[in-house]
Homo-oligomer: A and B are copies of this chain.
């Protein structure tokens, strides 16, 4: 009869593996960030995570306060040639204009169909773009809208990469989300995009549940219908979750100051400041700088779409924010293969 010791040892090891905190000073093995080259940005990330989560670290932050916020467009996936939600709006509008030709004479709808981005992006919060997005996002129930987004994202393809949009999330950023989550962080998306749009896929794609997706919103209308109450999307009380709106929304939705913030544009400046400046906790600010025209896009002061990055880039050295040089820091950007070479032109 074999001695039970090996089983006991295995069980005990399993119990210990669950219970034991990672020892400070050891490298993170296996590497949780394999798509990051071993440069300054990756080291800053890993150092920060160790400082605030290693048992025994003098700067250990209690799990309840491990709040990480991520911008979406340009931070978790591309925002070119247009923000993906704008592509969704275009596809919806084309269908609606067939049924309601008058809609096609709206100046901003005309601009959209003509690809007149400057007209759409003018104004403090890209007012024209917001207008056409709103046109396609109001009047239906929240459930119907969600199904519409799910259908679209299952079928639409990105014009350059010829892949479904949700196949274009940045693998290095997904690794960061996973690392932080494994280290007890609660992960939030804080984006100018529509909350209802993002919630339709954020859980499936990023494992981020709807209650941790903060975006631009309008106040839906509660309606009692024969088969039960519904919420009908409206344009009332529009809240744009951009610039100063981001820390405001963070306060309203989360009620705690984040200790890690990831963005890529001046729209993220205020939440980067709110996260890192004067925070009694150690805090990380990180900016994804789009420097890779070959594999993705290269822009800062003059983006082809949204995502202007000037003020936040200037502030970065003074604030100690880490700037990710996409071309240098990311060994790969998208899942499976090199997107540019692999992408076949759209038929």
Do B8 and A220 have beta carbons less than 8 Å apart? no
Interface residues in A204-244 by Cβ distance below 8 A to B read 209-211, 213, 217, 219-222, 224, 227-229, 231, 237, 239, 244
**B255 & A210 in contact (Cβ 8 Å cutoff):** yes
Flag if A11 contacts B4 (CB, 8 Å): no
Q: How far is the CB of A182 from chain B (nearest CB, A)?
A: 18
Binding-face segment, A75-83, A173-181, A273-281, A296-304: A273-281
Evaluate whether A274 and B222 lie within 8 angstroms (CB atoms) in the complex, with A199-B255, A255-B210 already known: yes
Q: Is the CB of A229 within 8 A of B211?
A: no
Contact A231 B248 (CB under 8 A): yes
Residues on the B chain within 8 Å of A252, using CB: 195, 217, 219-220
Contact B256 A211 (CB under 8 A): yes
Is there contact, CB below 8 Å, between A195 and B8? Answer: no
Excluding A11-B12, A222-B248, A231-B248, 10 further A-B contacts by CB distance (< 8 Å) are A7-B8, A11-B15, A186-B211, A210-B256, A213-B255, A220-B251, A221-B248, A222-B270, A228-B273, A229-B278
How many chain copies does the complex carry?
Answer: 2
Could you name 21 residue pairs across A and B whose Cβ atoms are closer than 8 Å?
A4-B4, A4-B5, A8-B8, A11-B11, A11-B12, A11-B15, A64-B209, A142-B251, A186-B211, A209-B255, A211-B255, A213-B255, A217-B252, A219-B248, A220-B248, A220-B251, A222-B248, A222-B270, A222-B274, A228-B277, A229-B247
Give the distance to chain B from A72, nearest Cβ to Cβ, in Å.
15
Q: Is A113 an interface residue (CB 8 A)?
A: no
Interface status of A316 (Cβ within 8 A of chain B): no
Residues of chain B lying within 8 A (CB to CB) of residue A229:
247, 270, 273-274, 277-278
Judge whether B11 and A253 touch: CB under 8 Å.
Answer: no
Among A203, A229, A270: residue with most chain B CB under 10 A: A229
Contact flags (1/0) for A183-214 with B, using CB distance below 8 Å? 00010000000011001000100000111010
Q: Which of B11, B228, B255, B274 contacts A278 (CB 8 A)?
A: B228
Known A-B contacts A220-B251, A231-B251, A255-B199; A8 and B4 likewise in contact (beta carbons under 8 Å):
yes
Contacts of A256 in B (CB 8 A): 210-211
